[in-house]
Amino acid sequence: MPSNQEDQNSFDLQQYLLILKKRWLVIAAVTGCIFGLSALAAFRQKPIYEAEGKLVFNKTDRVSSLTSPIEQLGELNSLTELGNPLDTEAEIIRSNPIIAKTIANLNLSDQRGKPLEIDQFLRKLKVKSIRGTDILAISYNSSNPKEAAAVVNSLMRYYLENNIYINQVQATAAKNFLSKQLPEVEVRVVRAQTALRRFKEENRVVALEQEAVTGVEKLGDLSEQITQAQANLVDVETRLKLLQRQLKLNSQQAIDIGNLSQSRGVQQVLTEYQQVQNELAVAQTRYTNRHPTIANLTTKRAALRKQLGIRVSQNLDEKLSVSEQSLQIGGLKQNLIAQLVQSNVERSALANRVNVLKNAYALSQKRLSVLPQLQEKQQQLERQSQVAQSTYEELLKRLQQVEVVNQDVGNARVVSAASLPNKDISPRIYLKLAVGGLLGIMLGVGTALLLEALDKSQKTIKQAQHLLGYRLLGTIPQLGQKARGGSGEGLALLAVRDNPESAVSSAFEMLQMNLNFTLFDKPLQVVAVVSSTPGEGRSFVAANLAIAKAHIGRRVLLIDADMRHSCQQDIWKLSNSIGLSNVLVGQAEFSHTVQEVLVNLDVLTVGTIQSYPAALLDSQRMALLIQEAAKNYDFVIIDTPALSLFADALMLSKLADGILLVVRPSLFNSATATATKTLLEQSTQNVLGIVINGVTFDTDYPDYYADKSYGVKRTVKEAELCNIHFSKSSSDSTMSTEL
């Protein structure tokens, strides 16, 4: 596969080289014209001089940043990320006001004496930054070296003046702006600080972050205390319930009994009452109920009982019924009652503590919930205060700077003034000549390739064979060229007869041998030699093929059936008084009309041209003549007219065993190929193959390259004898002949 690719590349290269060799005159003419025009333009052009000056820019511009507190002081910055400050300054240098001022000051004019236009000035001006530096190089081209230097220096001077003026304007504007803004910003500072103070006073804010931390800790402590108090309350309530169950008293009753047991008046009356009651019990054992002693003790007991009730009522808040047993209790019970009372007190105290702790927890939680809002509000007020304060300080600082800044100094200075150029930069004669020569060669080669592309003729054997699709039976070299292996410089028309050692003779021998293998069911005996257009060498091929067949001992008859432009009588230098046309109209006999030209080779010329030749060729007499010739000769060759002009060839092809199509690539294009193939396919004739005529050989090129000129170079006298008509093709003149 790589080898095939290399062969294809070599093939294309050799083909291009042949095209260039063929079109060398066109290439030379175009190259010479372009080179001549380049040389003329180079030598006629006036010398151009270039003067150059340089400006350096400081990164610190003490004025341009004063009005913008956001930017850092003195930085040459761009508004966009892709911007370059030096490019901005370069555009300022190229601005119309500075250029117009330079043109007016120097009285610059064009070739017609009119003031120089800004666009013309800009075409001569170059402003570029030197890479890796803060330097701008300014150059100007002019045919006058003094003018070039003066323009550059004036341009830099006017730019610096403009730069200083801009700085002064900016400084003044900055001072006015800052003086106006400073009081307003001061008022904003006072307002922001007052709002922050009021906020802290209204919300009792000292340190919100610390308060938040402390509040969270306090909330945790309160939660633990509430939990502990609730646990203690549960313990006390449990103990209280147990005491109440043992004493069978509620809390109030226990308190009342405890108070009565501790009351001296109640206990004294109770003691007397119990004593009287004891005495009454003893007296009742002695006396009857009517006894005065019994009555007296009963009365005394009742009085004491009443007194006891009064004393009990005096010690109780409410009127309660208390039994006598409850008024006098033992030490254990009294101790339990004391514990019950104490537990009741503890329960009340613990319940109150739980409530207090819960209230404190709720308050702390509520305070913590509003702390984020308070903190956000405080931060907002603090930011406003800080922004106002920083803006005020920055404006105050810049006001002080703008008051002391030197307004007569810009941010650029001249590094190198333009000097008088002593050497021209244009025209570069050698460069223009080289470019002109190179451009001329390129245009010449392009013109040659374009002409070759516009030439629709098929120039190679492969192209012709590809268009037709028939097998190739032979290739005939161009006459008049020294072929490989040949010794003569010029060859005759009948090359097979006159120069049997030539390449043309060998080609016809190969053709006649290849014809033997075209039919397999029967021997090939009658062949019609046809061509698409006149001038493809059909008669030449038919004559030499007849000689080649005769040389191998075959009896051959060559019939000139081209009644339009016959040529065989001129090739063989025969008499044409009688011939094929005379035989077909019955004026002569076939056997007496043929003329012997070589051993085993007879020629039947066309004879006297008759009217309506197509009717003669398509007659029964013509068919009988071919049959008679096939009986008397081993091989019959019919020379026919061109297919594209007349139908004679197709009529004669019906009488032959096959058609031999003669093709000259230089006269054979794709349209002709399509028409020819269509005619042959519609006629259903047997096409034996094609023979390529008029090719050239090249030892370095494996294919044959067709020559544009007609292959057979003949004298004018011979051309007149053959009725040659000259016509112009797309690029070269070709002879439209029947050879």
Answer whether residue 184 shows pLDDT above 80: yes
- Across the chain, mean pLDDT equals 75
* pLDDT given at position 45: 62
* pLDDT given at position 569: 92
Q: Which residues contact 238 (CB under 8 A, 6 or more apart)?
A: none
Answer whether residue 720 shows pLDDT above 60: no
- Cα 537 versus chain centre, distance: 59
If phi > 0 it is left, if psi is from -120 to 50 it is alpha, else beta; for residue 537 that is: left
* pLDDT given at position 718: 33
Q: Give tens-digit pLDDT for 629-674.
A: 999 999 999 999 888 778 888 888 889 999 999 988 777 666 777 7
If phi > 0 it is left, if psi is from -120 to 50 it is alpha, else beta; for residue 107 that is: left
- Cα 393 versus chain centre, distance: 51
* pLDDT given at position 349: 85
- Cα 178 versus chain centre, distance: 50
Higher pLDDT, 592 or 3: 592
Answer whether residue 62 shows pLDDT above 60: no
Q: Which structural domains are found in the chain, ordered by start?
A: 220-359 (no CATH), 458-709 (3.40.50.300)
Higher pLDDT, 411 or 147: 147
Residue 407 gets which letter from DSSP? T
Q: pLDDT class for 63, splitting at 50, 70, 90?
A: very low
Instruction: Extract the runs of DSSP E, i.e. beta strands, from 329-426.
Output: 412-416, 424-426
Q: Are 134 and 56 in contact (CB under 8 A)?
A: yes
Q: Give tens-digit pLDDT for 227-272.
A: 888 888 888 878 777 876 776 666 555 666 666 565 666 667 767 7
Answer whether residue 335 shows pLDDT above 90: no
* pLDDT given at position 639: 93
Q: Which of 112-126, 553-567, 669-683, 695-709 reaches the highest mean pLDDT?
A: 553-567
Q: CA-to-CA distance for 635 and 627, rounded, in angstroms? A: 12
Buried b / exposed e over 469-479, threshold 16 CB at 10 Å, is ebebbbbbbbb
Give mean pLDDT, residues 671-695.
82
* pLDDT given at position 328: 53
Answer whether residue 312 shows pLDDT above 70: no
CA distance to 64, 184, 398, 562, 583, per residue, from 392 (Å): 20, 9, 10, 115, 129
Strands 595-598 and 412-416 come out as: unpaired
Closest CA to 164 of 248, 72, 61, 30: 61
Name the H helices within 477-518. 495-498, 503-515
Higher pLDDT, 330 or 411: 411
CA distance to 21, 88, 665, per residue, from 452 (Å): 12, 53, 14
* pLDDT given at position 634: 94
Q: Give tens-digit pLDDT for 1-47.
A: 445 555 455 446 766 776 677 677 888 888 888 878 777 776 666 67
Q: Are 420 and 44 in contact (CB under 8 A)?
A: no
* pLDDT given at position 228: 87
Higher pLDDT, 103 or 216: 103
Amino acid, single-letter form, for residue 70 = I
Please name every residue paired with 179 in a beta bridge, in sequence order, or none if there are none. none
Long-range contacts: 429-438, Cβ < 8 Å, 24+?
429/42, 429/43, 432/38, 432/39, 432/41, 432/42, 433/35, 433/38, 433/39, 433/42, 435/38, 436/34, 436/35, 436/37, 436/38, 436/39, 436/42, 437/31, 437/34, 437/35, 437/38
